[in-house]
Amino acid sequence: MKLATLAMAVGLLPLVAGAPTAKPIILRNLAAPRYFGAAANTTFLFNDKNYTEVISTQVAVKWENIEPEPNGFDFGPADEIVRFAESVGAQMRGHNFMWGNQLPPWVNTSLTATELDKALENHITAIMDHYRGKIYAWDVINEMISDNTPNETFKDNIWTQKFGEEAMPKALAYARAVDKQPKLYINDYGIESINSKSDTLYDVVSGFLADGVPIDAIGFQCHFTLGQIPTDLEANLQRFAALGLDVAVTELDINLRGPANATALAQQARDYWSVVHACVNTRRCVSVSVWGVSDDHSWIPNGEVLPWDAEKQPKPAFYAIADAFEGKPRP
């Protein structure tokens, strides 16, 4: 397993020329009582000293990596992340159990609904038992709301093909049956503004709550393009929080889609501030995680999307995040 999502990023000593202070800016401290985190590739985590300095932890446990064969679990790489997390005193989030992508070949439509149901329950039970007491939240559901709302509610994948509308409640119920302590999340993209997709998710979650389906929180991925932060992001976070749910920014990055000149970097900083500010203003927004650590290891090549550059030095966005957590004005 190479990709891991890391929570509570360690701050970075501002080493850039003209940095405002020699005192370390520690984002994990500024974020308290919220968490600040980052997604990281474990190859770089254990082999790039500067990369490791920037982060702490959370962990991605995707089916194709952790259960490549039926009931044949490979916990080794994930266990390394757990030990690293414990060594730096970091909190961890788990990601994910039900997703239409990155499934091993044996999880396919040749399985009957009964066989797939048993596999799902066993997968969730084995992993949550293994990491009991070590992970404070799980993205149980990932990217299950259709992009074709309002005409279609759920994506067409193996889970909905076999279980229909009961797919998500099954996974959430199995997770809660294993462990009552971790927060159980639904995580998705394209739901950051008040739009058709987020309206659909809102209706789905409201129905879950009315029916007693265990759900604790919603994760908003927040993959944005420069200058395109939804103006109603905070209002949208607030309406889900008003349901009695925690909300979190789980996969934040801001794509420059062009050269990293001073103007673009300044706008990127303002955009990062706007997202973090929306979370800070929402009482039940519990965390902000960026989807990567430094630009050279981002999942978006040449997008320069993250708060640290290829040399692991803080960009203007880094300081804007700190300002937002401290309640300072937008840069």
Give the pair of three-digit tokens for residue 60: 């991605």
Q: From the candidates 251, 304, 311, 326, which is the catalytic residue?
A: 251
- Cβ contacts of residue 297 below 8 Å, gap of 6+? 40, 41, 44, 48, 51
Sign of the C-alpha dihedral computed for residues 142, 148, 150 and 153 taken in this order: negative
Q: Which residues are registered as beta bridge partners of 59? A: 94
Give the pair of three-digit tokens for residue 277: 């500010």
Of 120, 131, 43, the C-alpha closest to 93 is 131
Please give the helix or strand (H or E) that residue 84 lies within, else none: helix 76-87
Has 121 been annotated as catalytic? Answer: no
Q: What is the DSSP letter of 26?
A: -
| Rounded CA separation 307/287 (Å) | 16
Q: How far is CA 244 from CA 53, 129, 195, 237, in A?
A: 36, 27, 20, 11
Q: Please list the active-site residues.
A: 251
